[in-house]
């Protein structure tokens, strides 16, 4: 590793003022292993880089100089021995695979490899207590837990919105544990992967479609667990004819809430919880203020694709105190904060980079 003259001068000055740190100050004549480690480029392997999430992860990492993306030749991407070699060579692996394939990939880490970080974007490990849930804003301790973890499960897109809205309110005692909630949500068709993207982009798809009628969607367990509700919500997702973006909505009757709680209390609790957050923003309270801020299309419509290609999430609290009702809405990019953006955010934390690097 070669440092610039300005970097060498900086370390020399630091060493002169504080000799105790001289071991960390490289010079033209010496570079300690510790310094080399601090400045080393980290190797990242994206297992499943040709998929929808994998492509976006690669795009977010591709221009960074602090990361080297290592990839096998295309013809060997599914070769087990090749994948195992790359998994164990990498400082971090992002698994962008179906559940079963992610489980198999996780077993490819050598028994004596306590270095490689796995970040799994599938559903396979999201409620597994041996894996850290990769939602840094979940609680005051979650970010540090991610930094220390070698096994991180990336949240689902819909759960990111639902948990982001409800966890702070359960923590504040506004929504009692066990409250039976419902979720109405709409996502861009990219959430269905390449197969659904091809259908919509062929022009033969329906303009909008609701699904999940088994009432056993794979995202429900993590919603119940990490919201701290302890009660599975009724989840009604839908997909529509835009490619990226989503709105997750949670209706509330005041009768379900802590006695006396109203719309402003909900808004204040969310604003306090996410104060200072880099990626989650609580928007103005109520329809009138949201309109005044120009956040509704034609003064009426909350469009789902406004945060496309970002790692941001916006939280809205619409309420009517006279009717004693509220609707909470989370707006995010299903492939951003709901997938690839979150994976990169977790990668940054796990490898010691700035949390918003590349985001």
Single out the residue of 326, 345, 335, 297 nearest to residue 54, CA to CA.
335
Can you tell me the distance from the alpha carbon of 115 to that of 121, in angstroms, rounded to the nearest whole number? 19
CA distances from 188 to 111, 177, 201, 308 (A): 40, 31, 12, 10
Residue partners of 147: CB distance under 8 A and separation at least 6: 349, 350, 352
Single out the residue of 296, 210, 201, 297 nearest to residue 241, CA to CA.
201
| Residues 125/157/139/216 CA torsion (nearest 10 deg) | -60
Can you tell me the distance from the alpha carbon of 285 to that of 288, in angstroms, rounded to the nearest whole number? 8
Catalytic one of 90, 117, 157, 326:
157
Structure tokens, 195: 């197969």
What 8-state DSSP symbol labels residue 57? Answer: H
Cα dihedral 42, 46, 49, 52 sign: negative
DSSP bridge partners of 332: 246, 313
**Contact predicate 66/41, CB 8 Å:** yes
What 8-state DSSP symbol labels residue 55? Answer: H
Can you tell me the distance from the alpha carbon of 82 to that of 73, in angstroms, rounded to the nearest whole number? 9
Count CA atoms within 13 Å of residue 140 on its CB side.
Answer: 4
Helix (H, G, I), strand (E, B) or coil at 339: helix
| Residues 73/77/81/83 CA torsion (nearest 10 deg) | 100
Reply yes or no on whether 157 is catalytic.
Answer: yes
Can you tell me the distance from the alpha carbon of 51 to that of 122, in angstroms, rounded to the nearest whole number? 12
Just list the catalytic residues. 157
């Amino acid at each position: 590793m070669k440092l610039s003259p300005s970097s060498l001068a900086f370390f020399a000055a630091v060493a002169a003022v504080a000799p105790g740190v001289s071991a960390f100050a490289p010079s033209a004549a010496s570079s300690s292993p510790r310094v080399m480690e601090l400045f080393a480029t980290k190797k990242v392997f994206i297992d499943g880089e040709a998929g929808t999430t994998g492509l976006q992860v690669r795009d977010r990492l591709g221009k960074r100089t602090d990361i080297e993306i290592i990839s096998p030749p295309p013809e060997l991407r599914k070769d087990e021995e090749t994948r195992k070699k790359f998994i164990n060579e990498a400082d971090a692996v992002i698994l962008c695979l179906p559940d079963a394939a992610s489980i198999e990939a996780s077993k490819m880490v050598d028994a004596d490899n306590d270095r490689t970080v796995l970040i799994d974007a599938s559903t396979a490990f999201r409620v597994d207590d041996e894996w850290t849930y990769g939602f840094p804003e979940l609680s005051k301790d979650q970010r540090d837990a991610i930094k220390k973890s070698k096994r991180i499960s990336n949240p689902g897109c819909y759960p990111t919105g639902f948990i982001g809205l409800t966890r702070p309110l359960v923590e504040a005692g506004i929504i009692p544990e066990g409250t039976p909630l419902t979720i109405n949500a709409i996502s861009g068709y990219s959430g269905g992967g390449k197969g659904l993207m091809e259908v919509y982009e062929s022009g033969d798809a329906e303009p909008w479609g609701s699904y999940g009628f088994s009432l056993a969607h794979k995202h429900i367990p993590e919603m119940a667990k990490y919201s701290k509700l302890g009660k599975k919500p009724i989840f009604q997702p839908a997909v529509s004819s835009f490619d990226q973006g989503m709105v997750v909505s949670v209706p509330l009757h005041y009768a379900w809430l802590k006695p006396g709680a109203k719309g402003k209390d909900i808004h204040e609790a969310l604003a306090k919880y996410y104060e200072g957050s880099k990626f989650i923003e609580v928007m103005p309270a109520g329809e009138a203020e949201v309109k005044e801020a120009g956040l509704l299309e034609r003064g009426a419509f909350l469009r789902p694709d406004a945060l496309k290609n970002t790692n941001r999430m916006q939280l809205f609290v619409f309420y009517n105190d006279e009717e004693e009702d509220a609707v909470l809405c989370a707006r995010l990019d299903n492939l951003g904060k709901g997938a690839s953006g979150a994976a990169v955010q977790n990668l940054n934390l796990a490898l010691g980079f700035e949390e918003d690097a590349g985001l």
